[in-house]
Structure 1
Amino acid sequence: MDIKEILIAVGIVCLISLIVGVALGIAEKVFHVEVDEKEEKVREALPGSNCGGCGYAGCDALAHAIASGEAPVSGCPVGGKPVAEQIAKIMGAELGEITRKVAYVKCDGNSDKRTLDYNYIGIYSCTAASIMPGSSPYACKYGCLGFGSCARVCPESAIRIIDKKAVVDESLCIACGKCVKICPHQLIELVPAESHYRVQCFSHVKGKDVRDACTAGCIACGICQKVCEAGAITVVDNIAKIDYEKCTSCGKCAEKCPRKIIKKY
């Protein structure tokens, strides 16, 4: 190959590069999307965990939602009040009251309290165990399976399995909601961290069946509902439920509960 052919090849490459560069420049102008400056600042303030606990696909999606007014400035459960305060300043908005939440497992049925229906031999996963006959190897088909699916998805290691039941360390919990989503029995919910009384059961069967399955189950007797002067606790579908906005933490429900499944925290 002589020098002339080499120069022609180099020229062709340069010409192609020039054409591609011009094309990309035109495309950038044609398809350019303006990014809201506030959205960028909100995104920088977010922790970047992309956990989905806010209900959006990730931090980018939440930042867009906050900047556009679709989500509140306190929309990030992981960042909590410090991050909410930063975002409120960026958005020029009032912060309002922030309630810290934590994951709570609505079951007190450890191995000493519940009856075993059969021995489960299979994948060590709550999801796998829940598709077996009756959705659980235990007589109670609503309780914690204890195979640790929630613990494995927790980014802060805030959940441990103790005596075949999930237990949350609230000091580590960031309320990302991953455990809530993965629990096949829908046993975990996010509750106000300052809530002092909680119902530690989620069974929806009637009293006799509860007694046969677990010594720590709610029998829907309704005593808690009767003694609550604030009307904060009701029995629906055979299970007591507390409205934390109404609860005054008087403790009468826990005091009168014959099964002692309303616990003080």
Structure 2
Amino acid sequence: MKTAFITGASSGFGLACAKALAKKDFKIIALARRKERLEALEAEFKDQIYSLNLDVRDKEGIFKAVENLPEDFKNISVLINNAGLALGVQKFDELSLEDIESMVDTNIKGFLYVARAIIPLLRKQKSANIFNLGSVAGRYPYPGGNVYCGTKAFVRQFSLALRNDLRGSNIKVTNIAPGLCKTEFSEVRFKGDKQKADLVYENTKFLSAEDIAEVICSILALPEHININELELMPVTQSWDNFYIERF
């Protein structure tokens, strides 16, 4: 039985991936901050789930937890480095330093802690997959995106660079870059204001977390010699806006 390590496993992409892979007989190491949601996942899939109630920003906690994984969960062949967040839509110079640091610490530093802790275990496998959850925001900036867009551009470039470092290891690296997808993303961005969050998705068709999980499962089913470097996906209802031109 293969094992997948998934961050942000209590909601959104992470939860959908955990459930989809568990149903395909993977063992799941589910890392998230919300203990009660991890317990619900354990209740649903029993011994297939090993939960880690941690924040990816906890450097010491991440490395200690990985070092102390049970033997029957150390055979990790899939990493889904998913935990991340956006906070606010203010102009950069109006954004709080706390929100700036939270995005950088989670989307970049926490992301790197997890990768650094897990890759040595992936190297022990005959073959393995890393899925880094980026965003279309890493390629197409938008007003109010500033720091978030920058962190996802980092994920994209790091994913490409990591392919070079892992040459010869038979570890695949894929940057998954979704567009408009309805999860708790906007609720987090608007600090729990559900009315504002719902307006983002009003009167349109969007991706679901289950769509992303299905895409990841499809990539895992590809022949061993194929690496998808980057997969960018949007709902049909989403496209690019025109360049803004200031008029006088």
Question: Does the alignment reach a TM-score above 0.5?
Answer: no
Which of structures 1 and 2 has the larger relative contact order (alpha carbons within 8 angstroms, sep 6+)?
Answer: 2
- Of the two, which has the highest radius of gyration? 1
Q: When the two structures are superposed, what TM-score results if normalisation uses the length of structure 2?
A: 0.29
Which has a greater percent of strand? 2
Q: When the two structures are superposed, what TM-score results if normalisation uses the length of structure 1?
A: 0.28
Which has a greater percent of helix? 2
